[in-house]
Amino acid sequence: MFSRVKGTRDFLDLTLFDFFIKKTSIHVENYNFEHIDTPILETTELFKRSLGTNTDVVNKEMYVFEGSEEGEKSICLRPEVTASTMRAFLENNISSLPWKVYSWGPMFRKERPQRGRYRQFHQFNIEAIGSGEISLDANFIAMLDHLFSEALMLDNYTVHVNFLGSPDDRKVYKTILGDFLDKNNSALCGKCKERREKNIMRVFDCKQEDCQKLYKKAPYIVDSLSEESKKEWEQLQSLLELLSISFSYTPTLVRGLDYYNKTVFEFSSTALGAQSAFCGGGRYDYLAQELGSKECYPSFGVAIGIERVLILLEQIKDKLPLPHKKPLHLFLPLSENQYSLASLLADHVQAANLCVDILFDKPSLKSMMRKANKMGASYVLLVGDDEQKNNTVVVKNMVSGTEETIAQNDLVGHLKK
Ligand code: AMP
């Protein structure tokens, strides 16, 4: 027997998954985003350049395949898709801006698996490439809030927002934060000491209670912003208020990937336990240049963690307008002599866009009926010797229990009624 690879899942019922994809696609298309797709395999260098070599994702979580021949590039399973989308934008010379696109599919990260955290997981990504206007950030967050609260009917979540300023703001701030950490060095855990050296703002992601207590007193980046950045931060907040988005300013929200600047945000829910964030994103104005573009394409994007949204949807499944399965019309040929006739009749019924199946089973009629019940058949279509001789079918309504004998020529018309 074989088992699944650690951290992967089998999806045996995709009702909620499909519901999420459909609702979300319709929602973002109403905001003028178009569906695209990019490959699962990308060059390893793409993520090293975009996410930063000091991020956990690049450092230890990538599935990498080194080229086997001299000069062959190292490739990997994509750990995220913003970098891929920007690569596609640049490589395909897209010129109409902003390029508003969405995509969804599997991502791969070698993390320690737990509830809501997998090694193969799915994201729904929405990106607007080529717009530096801060109003877009507020509209984007509002679009997501409407998606979760209205289209997906979720209510138990918080919208966290922070503002990371410009690279110059961060240079100033990193020195201030460094001084604070040095002064409190003895109170830091080992991991925070390491982060202080490698990726200083990530100290805020620490899960240790003592470190978190200390960071409540830390200087925050919004206090180190230039006048221009400060104006944008204020503009963002007032636009969110104007759009009636209740959000929580979370100064310790820095996000795990290095390419963000200015607005960053996360949607989280306490109903998810430790892995509480189900959606996160922000502005990435310098990513295009990091990937070799001469031009700057200020951009904004988000990744929704589908598995985590599904955990939330599962909890409110009863009130969701999930699609009903089509009624099943199940042919029961009573002996092998009727197999061809049943196939032919089923073919006609199928052509009328009805859901049809045939039970090629030899046991008694009683056990075939039991199986039909178990399969959830709405109608059972019996064809035995008599029906074959008389060119008829017995149609049994499995809910009311009524039976009618119908001429084979009239069957499709009768069922469509
Ligand atoms: P990120 O790409 O790290 O910004 O993550 C965006 C969203 O993807 C998170 O808020 C999670 O909901 C989801 N996510 C990230 N990593 C995982 C994982 N290993 N398993 C399941 N979902 C994940």
Please give the average per-residue pLDDT across 26-34, as a whole number: 98
Q: Which CATH topology does 328-416 take?
A: Rossmann fold (3.40.50)
> Which band of pLDDT confidence, cut at 50, 70 and 90, is reported for residue 373?
very high
The alpha carbon of 110 and the centre of ligand 1 are apart by a number of angstroms equal to 12
Q: Please state whether beta strands 34-35 and 99-108 pair in parallel, antiparallel, or not at all (unpaired).
A: parallel
Closest ligand 1 atom, CA of 79? 2
Q: What is the pTM assigned to this prediction?
A: 0.93
Closest ligand 1 atom, CA of 82? 2
The alpha carbon of 60 and the centre of ligand 1 are apart by a number of angstroms equal to 16
Number of Cβ within 10 Å of residue 36's Cβ equals 17
Nearest CA to ligand 1 atom 21: 117
Q: Please, what's the b/e burial string for 67-83 (b: 16 or more CB within 10 A of its CB; e: otherwise)? A: eeeeeeeebbbbbbbbb
Query: How far apart (Å, rounded) are the C-alpha atoms in residues 262 and 114?
Result: 31
- In this prediction, residue 255 carries a pLDDT of 82
Q: Which CATH topology does 15-166+226-319 take?
A: BirA Bifunctional Protein; domain 2 (3.30.930)
The β-bridge partners of 43 are 75
Every domain of the chain and the residues it spans: 15-166+226-319, 328-416
Nearest CA to ligand 1 atom 3: 256
> Which band of pLDDT confidence, cut at 50, 70 and 90, is reported for residue 265?
very high
State how far the alpha carbon of 32 is from the alpha carbons of 103, 205, 244, 263, 303, in Å.
14, 34, 22, 22, 17
Contact, 127 vs 214, CB < 8 A?
no
The per-residue pLDDT for range 135-163, each reduced to its tens digit, is 999 999 999 999 999 999 999 899 999 99
Query: How far apart (Å, rounded) are the C-alpha atoms in residues 298 and 133?
Result: 9
Nearest CA to ligand 1 atom 13: 305
Closest ligand 1 atom, CA of 309? 12
Closest ligand 1 atom, CA of 109? 19
**Residue (of 344, 114, 351, 308) closest to 381 by Cα position:** 344
Nearest CA to ligand 1 atom 16: 117
Residue 256 has pLDDT above 70, yes or no: no
The alpha carbon of 303 and the centre of ligand 1 are apart by a number of angstroms equal to 7
- In this prediction, residue 55 carries a pLDDT of 82
- In this prediction, residue 362 carries a pLDDT of 74
Give 407's contacts (C-beta < 8 A, 6+ positions apart).
Answer: 391, 392
Please give the angle made by the CA atoms of 207, 258 and 279, to the nearest 5 degrees.
65
Closest ligand 1 atom, CA of 277? 10
- In this prediction, residue 364 carries a pLDDT of 86
Please give the average per-residue pLDDT across 213-232, as a whole number: 95
Please give the average per-residue pLDDT across 86-97, as a whole number: 97
Residue 258 has pLDDT above 80, yes or no: no
The alpha carbon of 122 and the centre of ligand 1 are apart by a number of angstroms equal to 8
Percent of the chain with pLDDT over 70: 99
State how far the alpha carbon of 318 is from the alpha carbons of 14, 23, 313, 321, in Å.
16, 17, 9, 8
The per-residue pLDDT for range 278-304, each reduced to its tens digit, is 999 999 999 999 999 999 999 999 999
What is the secondary structure of 101-162 as a DSSP string? EEEEEEEE--PPPBTTB-SEEEEEEEEEES---HHHHHHHHHHHHHIIIIIS---S-EEEEE
The ligand 1 site (C-beta within 6 Å) comprises 80, 109, 111, 116-118, 121, 123, 256, 277-280, 303, 305, 307-308
Query: 124-133, 252-261, 300-309: lowest mean pLDDT where?
Result: 252-261
The alpha carbon of 257 and the centre of ligand 1 are apart by a number of angstroms equal to 11
- In this prediction, residue 246 carries a pLDDT of 95
The per-residue pLDDT for range 31-79, each reduced to its tens digit, is 999 999 999 999 999 999 998 887 888 889 999 999 777 788 999 999 9
The alpha carbon of 248 and the centre of ligand 1 are apart by a number of angstroms equal to 20
Nearest CA to ligand 1 atom 7: 305
- In this prediction, residue 108 carries a pLDDT of 98
Q: Which pair of structure tokens corresponds to residue 106?
A: 């599997």
- In this prediction, residue 61 carries a pLDDT of 94
Residue type, 396: K
The alpha carbon of 278 and the centre of ligand 1 are apart by a number of angstroms equal to 7
- In this prediction, residue 109 carries a pLDDT of 97
> Which band of pLDDT confidence, cut at 50, 70 and 90, is reported for residue 257?
low
**Residue (of 230, 226, 222) closest to 168 by Cα position:** 226
- In this prediction, residue 374 carries a pLDDT of 95
For 403, phi and psi rounded to 5 degrees?
-125, 140
For 367, phi and psi rounded to 5 degrees?
-75, -30
The packing angle between helices 306-315 and 15-29, to 10°, is 110
Query: How far apart (Å, rounded) are the C-alpha atoms in residues 55 and 80?
Result: 13
Tokens 């925070």: give the residue.
Answer: 192
Candidate of 57, 59, 114, 117 to mutate for ligand 1, largest count of ligand atoms within 8 Å of Cβ: 117
The alpha carbon of 242 and the centre of ligand 1 are apart by a number of angstroms equal to 29
The alpha carbon of 121 and the centre of ligand 1 are apart by a number of angstroms equal to 8
